[in-house]
């Protein structure tokens, strides 16, 4: 009798267990996955017809008919591109017929040399009481026939011992000579026309730590002075494991002979100055910037950025509105869901002093990662962000080169999922191009959906139906356990009766 009861009850238990598993979420997912496996594979989506209307944005261009027109792409174009190869764009004439075009990368200068010159003469200067507000407005410095500089003892006085200079006077005559008469026979690059940039490097005394505010004035005759740019904050200091350093002062390529550095704040412990003259065989391509706002996570340790499209980013910097210093890691991805790839680690900082600002340098990224649409800045330590800094993308734009055939004006259409296949088109063999004139800028882009904000410790929310399914599953398990226990006791009782 018990064995018959077991044979009749066991199929009922198995059926009940199968029903419960089919109703639970895992069973439902399994059923759906089986249905997907059995369903036929979807056909590949066919690209739409190549028309201007198949793109998200448009820009109207004009220029001489039948010529090559050149347009450097702007951030308005890159922010709408949906492909990392930048080929979701096309040029159409007035009748809607596509025109031959290509994208040309603006390669950096092929040959570049930097000439360093370290014999810069300078003297300390502390103006007298009657000249505190306007130092060196009169000729108080004598330049000897040998080029030496001597300060007159009348209106100026030597710096007091240990108090540090209030100003430094530099003689840039040697730099002027190198600029006008560069060295010969050095790869043919050192010519006056190829001088691209001049800078002055402060060489501080060994082990010195400082943060000095300086303002610059220049003069050719020590009588007439003019201000040079905004004040600068030069520094060399260590904050924990972070080294903050800015020692370069940019100069014009044709500097005047005398440069006055007026110093406030910390003493500037200068050992010497070194001039750097950078030459290149070609003019470097212009670099452009695009500013992207970030979204701060609730735990304030992650900032997410959506560029809207794909940029040829070479480096990235972060705009800190207030004084700040912290370590962070940068990550990039093609999708907001990842996978995320590490792009580098940097110390972000901003220092302010008497109106001058010192900010952390840009972080270089590889060309492959630079084309990512999504970026993530993560605090490296336990200290969270006080705010979400804006991200500044630095990139060298491509040049769009197209043949202005047909009737104008021409339309640059860009932004779609499918790329455009173009035939071989070499503008180098067709002569130099002419700049294309923008007649109408693209419409304002539709704002992308807000970035998802992930909680620091996310908790999966379960709906009422899911809770009921889990309760039913628990009840079924208890029911089956009771039946199994009852059958086990019945079998033991039967064995006991037979033994007796």
In CATH, what number is assigned to the domain containing residue 173? 2.60.120
- Nearest-angstrom CA–CA distance, 459 and 448: 26
Distant-in-sequence, close-in-space partners of 50: CB < 8 Å, separation ≥ 6? 90, 98, 420
As given in the structure block, the two tokens for residue 45 are 């989506």
**Same-domain status, 326 and 236:** no
Distant-in-sequence, close-in-space partners of 160: CB < 8 Å, separation ≥ 6? 126
Closest CA to 177 of 158, 152, 165, 195: 195
How does residue 294 score in pLDDT terms, banded at 50, 70 and 90? Answer: very high
As given in the structure block, the two tokens for residue 42 are 């979807």
- Given a cut of 70, is residue 131 above it in pLDDT? no
Task: Between 300 and 185, name the one with better pLDDT.
Answer: 300
Strands 434-435 and 68-72: parallel
How does residue 475 score in pLDDT terms, banded at 50, 70 and 90? Answer: confident
For residues 419-436, give the mean pLDDT: 70
Task: Between 41 and 281, name the one with better pLDDT.
Answer: 281
**Same-domain status, 117 and 170:** yes
For residues 13-37, give the mean pLDDT: 49
Closest CA to 255 of 120, 112, 113: 120
pLDDT in tens, 66-76: 889 999 999 99
For residues 175-197, give the mean pLDDT: 71
- Given a cut of 70, is residue 149 above it in pLDDT? no
Strands 374-379 and 302-306: antiparallel
pLDDT in tens, 481-498: 777 677 767 766 665 555
**Same-domain status, 172 and 252:** yes
How does residue 444 score in pLDDT terms, banded at 50, 70 and 90? Answer: low
- Given a cut of 80, is residue 333 above it in pLDDT? yes
Q: Give the chain's mean pLDDT.
A: 77
**Same-domain status, 218 and 342:** no
- Whether 75 is in a domain gets the answer no
pLDDT of residue 146: 60
pLDDT of residue 389: 93
Most trustworthy range by pLDDT among 13-27, 164-178, 400-414, 428-442: 400-414
**Same-domain status, 232 and 271:** yes
pLDDT of residue 130: 39
Q: Contact, 433 vs 67, CB < 8 A?
A: yes
pTM assigned to the model: 0.71
- Whether 449 is in a domain gets the answer no
- Whether 57 is in a domain gets the answer yes
User: Is residue 343 classed exposed, middle or buried when 0-12, 13-18 and 19+ CB atoms within 10 A define those classes?
Assistant: buried
- Nearest-angstrom CA–CA distance, 200 and 269: 15
Closest CA to 89 of 313, 397, 394: 397
End-to-end C-alpha distance for the chain, whole angstroms: 17
Answer with the one of 225, 256, 280 that is the final residue of a domain: 280
- Whether 457 is in a domain gets the answer no
**Same-domain status, 250 and 123:** yes
- Whether 177 is in a domain gets the answer yes
For residues 442-450, give the mean pLDDT: 59
As given in the structure block, the two tokens for residue 493 are 């009782």
**Same-domain status, 377 and 429:** no
For residues 447-476, give the mean pLDDT: 56
**Same-domain status, 244 and 198:** yes
pLDDT of residue 111: 77
Closest CA to 113 of 200, 191, 202, 201: 191
- Nearest-angstrom CA–CA distance, 377 and 380: 9
Task: Report percent pLDDT > 90 for the chain.
Answer: 28
- Given a cut of 60, is residue 301 above it in pLDDT? yes
pLDDT of residue 379: 92
Q: Contact, 354 vs 278, CB < 8 A?
A: no
- Give the CA distances from residue 323 to residues 319, 346, 358, 441, in Å, rounded to whole numbers and listed in that order: 11, 16, 10, 37
Distant-in-sequence, close-in-space partners of 444: CB < 8 Å, separation ≥ 6? none
- Given a cut of 60, is residue 359 above it in pLDDT? yes
- Given a cut of 50, is residue 392 above it in pLDDT? yes
- Whether 194 is in a domain gets the answer yes
pLDDT of residue 426: 66
User: Is residue 57 classed exposed, middle or buried when 0-12, 13-18 and 19+ CB atoms within 10 A define those classes?
Assistant: buried
Q: Where in the sequence is the domain holding 406, given as residue range(s)?
A: 53-68+88-105+398-440
- Nearest-angstrom CA–CA distance, 189 and 277: 12
Q: Contact, 261 vs 168, CB < 8 A?
A: yes
pLDDT of residue 128: 47
- Other beta carbons within 10 angstroms of residue 167's beta carbon come to 22
Number of domains in the chain: 3
- Given a cut of 60, is residue 8 above it in pLDDT? no
Report residue 463: phi and psi, to 5°. -75, 170
- Nearest-angstrom CA–CA distance, 369 and 379: 20
Most trustworthy range by pLDDT among 57-71, 234-248, 274-288, 480-494: 57-71
- Whether 301 is in a domain gets the answer yes
- Nearest-angstrom CA–CA distance, 276 and 39: 69
How does residue 458 score in pLDDT terms, banded at 50, 70 and 90? Answer: very low
- Whether 462 is in a domain gets the answer no
- Given a cut of 60, is residue 455 above it in pLDDT? no
Task: Between 377 and 326, name the one with better pLDDT.
Answer: 377
- Given a cut of 70, is residue 409 above it in pLDDT? yes
As given in the structure block, the two tokens for residue 244 are 């903050």
CA dihedral 138, 144, 146, 148 (to 10 degrees): -60
For residues 151-163, give the mean pLDDT: 40
As given in the structure block, the two tokens for residue 203 are 């060489």
Name the least confident of 241-245, 308-312, 451-455: 451-455
Q: Is 7 helix (H, G, I), strand (E, B) or coil?
A: helix
């Amino acid at each position: 009798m018990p064995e018959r009861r077991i044979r009749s009850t066991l199929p009922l238990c198995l059926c009940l267990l199968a029903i419960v598993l089919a109703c639970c979420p895992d069973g439902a997912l399994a059923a759906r996955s089986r249905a997907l496996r059995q369903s036929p594979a979807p056909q590949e989506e066919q690209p739409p017809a190549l028309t201007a209307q198949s793109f998200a944005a448009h820009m109207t261009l004009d220029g001489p008919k039948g010529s090559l027109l050149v347009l450097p792409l702007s951030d308005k174009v890159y922010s709408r591109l949906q492909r990392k190869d930048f080929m979701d764009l096309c040029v159409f004439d007035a009748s809607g017929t596509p025109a031959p075009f290509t994208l040309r990368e603006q390669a950096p200068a092929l040959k570049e040399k930097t000439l360093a010159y370290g014999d810069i003469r300078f003297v300390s200067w502390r103006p007298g009481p009657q000249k505190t507000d306007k130092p060196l407005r009169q000729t108080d410095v004598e330049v000897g026939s040998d080029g030496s500089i001597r300060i007159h003892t009348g209106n100026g006085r030597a710096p007091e011992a240990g108090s540090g200079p209030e100003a430094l006077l530099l003689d840039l005559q040697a730099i002027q000579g190198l600029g006008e008469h560069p060295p010969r026979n050095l790869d043919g690059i050192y010519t006056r026309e190829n001088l691209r940039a001049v800078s002055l490097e402060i060489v501080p005394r060994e082990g010195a730590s400082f943060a000095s505010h300086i303002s610059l004035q220049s003069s050719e005759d020590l009588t007439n002075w003019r201000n040079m740019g905004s004040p600068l904050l030069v520094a060399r200091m260590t904050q924990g494991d972070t080294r903050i350093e800015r020692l370069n002062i940019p100069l014009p390529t044709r500097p005047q002979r005398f440069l006055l550095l007026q110093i406030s704040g910390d003493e500037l412990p200068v050992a010497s100055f070194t001039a750097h003259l950078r030459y290149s065989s070609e003019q470097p391509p212009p670099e452009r910037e695009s500013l992207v706002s970030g979204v701060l996570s609730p735990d304030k340790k992650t900032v997410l950025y959506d560029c809207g499209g794909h940029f040829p980013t070479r480096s990235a910097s972060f705009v800190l509105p207030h004084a700040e210093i912290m370590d962070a890691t940068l990550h990039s991805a093609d999708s907001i869901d990842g996978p995320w790839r590490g792009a580098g680690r940097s110390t972000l900082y901003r220092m302010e002093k008497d109106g001058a600002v010192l900010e952390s340098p840009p972080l270089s990224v590889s060309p492959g990662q630079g084309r990512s649409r999504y970026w993530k800045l993560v605090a490296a330590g336990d200290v969270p962000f006080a705010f979400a800094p804006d991200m500044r993308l630095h990139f060298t734009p491509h040049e769009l080169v197209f043949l202005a055939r047909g009737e104008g004006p021409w339309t640059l259409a860009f932004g779609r999922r499918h790329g455009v296949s173009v035939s071989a088109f070499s503008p180098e063999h067709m002569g130099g191009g002419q700049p294309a004139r923008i007649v109408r800028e693209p419409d304002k882009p539709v704002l992308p959906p807000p970035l998802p904000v992930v909680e620091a410790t996310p908790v999966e929310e379960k709906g009422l139906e899911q809770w009921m399914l889990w309760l039913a599953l628990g009840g079924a398990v208890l029911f089956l356990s009771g039946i199994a226990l009852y059958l086990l006791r019945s079998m033991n009782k039967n064995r006991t009766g037979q033994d007796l």
